Amino acid sequence: MKPKRGYKRGYPVALLVGFEQDHAALWQVFSHVVKPHRTLKLAGRRTDERALYDFHESVLNALRPVLKEGVRSVVVAAPTKTNYTVDFMDHVRKHHAYLLQSKGPNKVTFAELVGSADRPHSVAELVKTKEFRELVVATTSGEADQIVSIIERSLSSNQLVMFSLKEIEDTVYNQEKNDFRAAYLVLTDKYLAESSYKHRIHRLLQISANKKAKTRIIDAETPAGKRIIQFGGLIFFISPTK
């Protein structure tokens, strides 16, 4: 039953952060659904610089575990006539500029959106909007392009790169003590949809993530997806250190 629920949920696409006056609601956006992640309270007033700093840090700390799993796209939303997303992005630029570096390995693609992402019903309406869908496409495309650039650098620097499902399974499963923090497991949504080995692929994605590899499923119709299709639709590689 678990694999079926996971399949209906789809694959992770982005993170959504809904800022309100005294809290932030964090959501994980999957290809089929949106799931609640965390709700964080602002301990004080927005006019209290220290309280606001701690609040923004708590949001970033809550995002980090999912970012480390490979999701690098974040949409931040807030009701109209507020500066909540502006304040947060100013905090990121001032205290965590490395997240915005275009060629950095930790780059996160942020997008800002006007609208409430506080409650399930408001999020359900928000994700249906054309603006939200276009933002997600833009942010995930940028993220996918970044992954492809890492693939190209890995190929040119003679890092470990594999394209066979069996070969990748052997590498991931047989090295029990290996920490794949520098590894990526990337495939296209078309490869997953058309594969006769969906159960094996889902298991491989889960175990790879458990071993700290970054796992991503890329839209096959994007330029990045088309490049991955040239490798067969599935690729496992180690990111170069520089």
**Looking at residue 55, which CATH number applies to its domain?**
3.30.420.60
Same domain, 65 and 123: yes
Same domain, 33 and 119: yes
Same domain, 36 and 93: yes
**Residue 165, pLDDT above cutoff 50:** yes
**Strand locations in the chain (E):** 12-19, 23-30, 34-41, 73-78, 109-114, 161-162, 183-188, 214-218, 234-238
Among 128, 154, 174, give the residue marking a domain's end. 128
Report if residue 32 sits inside a domain: yes
What's the confidence (pLDDT) of residue 105? 65
Same domain, 154 and 198: yes
Same domain, 157 and 215: yes
Same domain, 37 and 67: yes
What's the confidence (pLDDT) of residue 135? 84
**Residue 21, pLDDT above cutoff 90:** yes
Find the mean pLDDT for residues 122-144.
Answer: 84
Task: Please tell me the distance from the alpha carbon of residue 150 to that of residue 186, in angstroms, as a whole number.
Answer: 11
Report if residue 103 sits inside a domain: yes
Report if residue 104 sits inside a domain: yes
Among 128, 154, 180, give the residue marking a domain's end. 128
Same domain, 166 and 209: yes
Quick one: tokens of 197?
Answer: 């080995």
What's the confidence (pLDDT) of residue 154? 87
Same domain, 95 and 152: no
Query: Is the pLDDT higher at 77 or at 140?
Result: 77
Report if residue 137 sits inside a domain: no
Where residue 192 sits, what CATH number does that domain have?
3.30.1330.30
Report if residue 123 sits inside a domain: yes
Same domain, 7 and 63: yes
Question: Is the distance from CB of 201 to CB of 233 less than 8 angstroms?
Answer: no
Report if residue 138 sits inside a domain: no
Residue 92 belongs to domain spanning:
2-128
With a pLDDT cut of 90, the percent of the chain lying above it is 50
Among 93, 128, 163, give the residue marking a domain's end. 128
- Give the pairing of strands 73-78 and 109-114: parallel
Query: Is the pLDDT higher at 176 or at 185?
Result: 185
Report if residue 139 sits inside a domain: no
Cut 0.75: pTM above it: no
Same domain, 179 and 233: yes
What's the confidence (pLDDT) of residue 211? 85
Same domain, 226 and 151: yes
pLDDT band at 145 (very low <50, low <70, confident <90, very high): confident
Report if residue 169 sits inside a domain: yes
Count of domains observed in the chain: 2
What's the confidence (pLDDT) of residue 67? 86
Kindly report the backbone phi and psi dihedral angles of residue 214, in degrees, each rounded to the nearest multiple of 5, phi listed first.
-85, 125
Helix or strand (DSSP H, E) at 225? helix 223-230
Same domain, 108 and 157: no
